[in-house]
Structure formats: structure tokens, C-alpha cells
Chain A
Amino acid sequence: MITMNNVSKHYGSFQVLTECSTQVQKGEVIVVCGPSGSGKSTLIKVVNGLEPFQSGEIIVNGLSVGDPKTNLSKLRSMVGMVFQNFELFPHMSIIDNLCIAQTKVLHRTQEVARDKGLKLLERVGLSAQAAKFPGQLSGGQQQRVAIARALAMDPICMLFDEPTSALDPEMVNEVLDVMTELAREGMTMMCVTHEMGFAKRVASRVIFMDQGRIVEDDSKEAFFANPRSERAQQFLAKILHH
């Protein structure tokens, strides 16, 4: 479903990604981890073209992301994305946040979009909040709305960019629960996260990055039991302590 071949990206002389290659099959859940500044967020953002890259090739569902002829908006509408800071649209009610792209991008009618939105809100346990505004919800609730908003587009895969990093510790689990459920239902997912418990529970594979390179790309069993690189061993030793 997602294929990356030797993708490199730099800002001026600063190399952000160096020849990254990987593949994500339908239904796989990939957890991307690594120290900060290692390029994990960028790796996710090049997949739907939010960040341009200079060389290499990314194919999503048969479409080449780097090709100027590709309709990026169309491609992005098929790829759900969830951000660290939720990025709900603050001037719209929760239900309007879920409907706006359905009506403006997929050209669904208001009724169809609303039905879909309400169903998804129910699924993430937030039906009661439909008429509220994002600023009136807790961080965990906002992130669940953001996931529902992405799902409303019927995406073929989902990208998560540190979805729990900006949350109070108490709210992390409510978001991870929604993501776990999604993974169990067979959604194709790429998640940048430091939640190793989540990775152990649902990941099919773990990608470990350091200094813009994919250092490890292995099954979760192999990664957690026996990381090959020294950098990954150090990383795991540090974050698995607590």
C-alpha cells in the first residue's frame, strides 16, 4: 500500500532523511520510533506530501507522491492524518469539524456527512459533544475527535504523528484505546509514537530511526527482544525503564 524507495530530504545543507526505504502492506500497523530529531515525523509527512523530498520515490496506493502530475489533494483525502496538537478547526463545532471535508472534498450531502460524523463520534465515545467547540474539550477528547475526523473520509490508511505526546498522562489511554481498536479492525497505520506498550500490543513492525536513517525495520518481537543496532539498544534501555 505504501512503498518508499531511497527517499532523501534536506533543508539546505541539513539532511533530514537519508535514503529511507520501507514498505507497508495493507492491514499492517507500523510504529515509528527513535530519538527526537531523528526524522520520524518527517518520514510520516512525506507519505502524504505535506513535506516535499528531493530524491527517491514514494508510492501510495499506486500513486507517486513526488510526481508533479499527481493530484496531491486527492491523494491526501484518501490518507487520514492525526497530529500531535490535534489541529481541530477551532471556529467550527465538533460535528462541523467532521463534516466540512466530507462535503467540500468528497462532495457528500450535508445529511450523509452528518450521519457519518455522528456515527464516528459515537464510536469514539463523544456523541454528547457534537455541538461543542474544540476549545471546550479536553486534549484527549480533541484527539479522539481528530481521529474520527480523519476516519470520516474513509481513508485507505492512517498516519499518526505523535498523537499522545501533547496529552496529559491521564488522557493518553483513551486515545491509545481508540487507536488499538482501529488497528484490530485491520486499518493500515503508520504511527510515530513513544508509547512502547502500544507498539508491543498492536504493531506488526517497528521502524527505528536515528539521524534521518531507518536503522531498524523489523517485526516487533525481534525489535523488542533483540534490537540489532547499538543505538536502538540504548534507546530502548532508556525508555523501557519506566
Chain B
Amino acid sequence: MGYNWNWGVFLQPTASGGDTYLGWMIHGFKTTIALSLSAWLIALALGAVVGVLRTVPNKVLSGIATAYVEVFRNIPLLVQLFLWYFVMPELLPEKLGSAFKQSNPFVQQFLSSMVCLALFTSARVAEQVRSGINSLPPGQKNAGLAMGFTLSQTYRHVLLPMAVRLIVPPLTSEFLNIFKNSAVCSTIGLLELAAQGRQLVDYTAQPYESFIAVTLAYLLINVVVMFGMRWLEARVRVPGYIGGK
């Protein structure tokens, strides 16, 4: 194979000057982390609310929540991204829309990506929350209500604390997914980790080094997430209950 390995490429100044290629990669890495974490926090909050609503007795509320989940779960992520980035600004009230379009391109790309990933993931989180609540013995809800708790107190003190513990393992895979899905955002020009990798290939013609570095960076993120979630799982384990001691 006539390939010239050159790991030193990362330390070279970029063709456009001012930074090394390693600096580009680090910038992309930071963008991926910031994007994924912010979207994840929104997805958790929204997903918890929507997941709970799917289980409430009120038919209107649970219907709205079901529609939400089906919409955001069944449209391909890439299409959703294009809708948020290209279509949504046109649908905003004119002032807001033009303010958005005149803002820094990075801000436009970042915001669209964040909202897109957050809503897409929130639908999946909502499904986990719903299945967690539904997997609890039905008597738990009755026990809460029979103590004099209102329905929302029953969710707050009885159902959710157990449901959330039960869904830590499936949530781990959603958390991993959001980092991997964030690579899709390179299609609207956001210079996150995958996009920086491709850009580095364009500038240096060193695809192996570039994508090996990108792969390792994603791997690093996922290993950290996995260990973090495992630690969390052990920490919230209930004594004498599934998997507890």
C-alpha cells in the first residue's frame, strides 16, 4: 500500500493559518460535546414530561403526548435537521426569522442542531420513561393514591423514583446515541468532530490519520459515558430490589 503515514500532520499549522490541525480537531470535539450535552439535557427534561403524560388517565393529554412521540420518532433524523435548519426560520415570525438568519452562521447551525437532536431524542426518552412507569406493579399507583397523595404527588414520590432507576440502562444507549447522531449535523455545515475530520482530509490528504483520530475521539466519549452511567446505576440501586444487595 503506497500510503504515506504522517502522524505529524496534526501539529502542522493549517493552510488557512492561525491554528494547527490538532486545534481544529479539538474545536470539533468541543462542539460535539457541547451540542450533545445541551441537547441531552433538553431531551431528558422534555422526554420525562412527555413520557409521564403518555401514562396519565386524561385521554387528551396522553393523545397529545403519543402524537409528539410518533412524529419525532418516525421522521428520519436527517429530514428533521433540514426542516429545523432550512424550513423553520421561514416559518418563524418575520422579526425573529430575520434575526436568526442574520446571526453568526455557527450560532444558526448550532441552535438548529441542538433543537433537532433534543426533540428527536426526547421522543425516544419519553418511550423509555413510559415503559419504566408501566413496568411498575399497578398496585404502586393505588398505594400512593390510597395514602392521600394527589396524582402528581404519586408520580413525584412513588412512580418516577422507581421508574427512573429501572430505565438507567436503556437511557445509557440513548445517551450514547445522541453523540453518534450529532455527526449528522455536519450536513448543515456545523463543524463538529466528524466535519472537522473531513475538512482535515480535504486540506491534508491524510484520511487514515484523520478518521482514526475521529474514531478514537468518539470512542473516548462513549467509554466515559458508559462508565459514568454504570456508576450512576450502582449509586441509585435500591437495596433488596432488582440487582440490589
The answer to whether A and B belong to the same complex is yes
A residues within 8 Å of B by Cβ? 45, 48, 50, 73-74, 76-79, 81, 83-85, 87-91, 100-101, 104-106, 132-137, 149-150, 153
Known: A87-B137, A100-B157, A135-B244. A73 touches B149 (CB 8 A): yes
Known: A76-B147, A104-B153, A153-B147. A134 touches B139 (CB 8 A): no
CB pair B157 A85 closer than 8 Å: no
Task: Return B16 CB to nearest CB of chain A, in Å.
Answer: 55
Task: Return A165 CB to nearest CB of chain B, in Å.
Answer: 13
Give the nearest-CB partner of B143 in chain A. Answer: A87
CB pair A91 B162 closer than 8 Å: yes
- Total number of residue pairs linking A and B with CB closer than 8 Å: 83
Tell yes or no: B158 within 8 A of A by CB. yes
Q: Given A89-B157, A105-B147, A132-B239, 9 other A-B contacts at CB below 8 A?
A: A50-B142, A73-B145, A77-B148, A78-B148, A87-B137, A104-B153, A135-B241, A135-B244, A153-B148
Complex partner residue of A135 from B145, B157, B240, CB under 8 angstroms: B240
CB pair B158 A89 closer than 8 Å: yes
Q: How far is the CA of A74 from the CA of B144 in the complex (A)?
A: 13
Complex partner residue of B241 from A77, A90, A149, CB under 8 angstroms: A90
Which residues of B215-245 are within 8 A (CB) of A? 238-241, 244
Tell yes or no: B204 within 8 A of A by CB. no
Task: Return B235 CB to nearest CB of chain A, in Å.
Answer: 13
Known: A83-B139, A133-B241, A135-B240. A91 touches B165 (CB 8 A): yes
CB pair B148 A89 closer than 8 Å: no
Give the nearest-CB partner of B237 in chain A. Answer: A91
Task: Return B59 CB to nearest CB of chain A, in Å.
Answer: 15
Complex partner residue of A101 from B140, B149, B241, CB under 8 angstroms: B149
B interface, size bucket: 20 to 34
Give the nearest-CB partner of B146 in chain A. Answer: A81
CB pair A85 B142 closer than 8 Å: no
Tell yes or no: B150 within 8 A of A by CB. yes
Q: How far is the CA of A135 from the CA of B140 in the complex (A)?
A: 14
Tell yes or no: B189 within 8 A of A by CB. no
B residues within 8 Å of A by Cβ? 137, 139-140, 142-150, 153, 157-158, 161-162, 165, 238-241, 244
CB pair A136 B239 closer than 8 Å: yes
Q: How far is the CA of A106 from the CA of B140 in the complex (A)?
A: 20
Task: Return B244 CB to nearest CB of chain A, in Å.
Answer: 6
Q: How far is the CA of A137 from the CA of B240 in the complex (A)?
A: 8
CB pair A87 B162 closer than 8 Å: no
Q: How far is the CA of A105 from the CA of B146 in the complex (A)?
A: 11
CB neighbours of B149 from chain A (8 A) = 73, 101, 104-105
Complex partner residue of B145 from A50, A85, A100, CB under 8 angstroms: A50
Complex partner residue of A83 from B143, B153, B165, CB under 8 angstroms: B143
Give the nearest-CB partner of B157 in chain A. Answer: A100
CB neighbours of B150 from chain A (8 A) = 73
Q: How far is the CA of A45 from the CA of B145 in the complex (A)?
A: 11
Complex partner residue of B139 from A78, A87, A100, A135, CB under 8 angstroms: A87
Q: Report which residue of A74, A78, A91, A106 has the largest number of chain B beta carbons within 10 angstroms of its beta carbon.
A: A91
Q: How far is the CA of A101 from the CA of B147 in the complex (A)?
A: 6
Q: How far is the CA of A234 from the CA of B68 in the complex (A)?
A: 55
Give the nearest-CB partner of A106 in chain B. Answer: B148
Complex partner residue of B148 from A45, A73, A83, A134, CB under 8 angstroms: A73
Task: Return A151 CB to nearest CB of chain B, in Å.
Answer: 12
CB pair A135 B239 closer than 8 Å: yes
Task: Return B154 CB to nearest CB of chain A, in Å.
Answer: 9
Q: How far is the CA of A76 from the CA of B151 in the complex (A)?
A: 12
Q: How far is the CA of A236 from the CA of B144 in the complex (A)?
A: 35
CB pair B238 A50 closer than 8 Å: no
Known: A76-B148, A101-B149. A90 touches B238 (CB 8 A): yes
CB pair A85 B240 closer than 8 Å: no
Give the nearest-CB partner of A159 in chain B. Answer: B146
CB neighbours of A45 from chain B (8 A) = 142
Q: How far is the CA of A133 from the CA of B236 in the complex (A)?
A: 13
Q: How far is the CA of A73 from the CA of B158 in the complex (A)?
A: 15
Task: Return A52 CB to nearest CB of chain B, in Å.
Answer: 10
Q: How far is the CA of A74 from the CA of B137 in the complex (A)?
A: 24
Task: Return A108 CB to nearest CB of chain B, in Å.
Answer: 12
CB pair A135 B147 closer than 8 Å: no
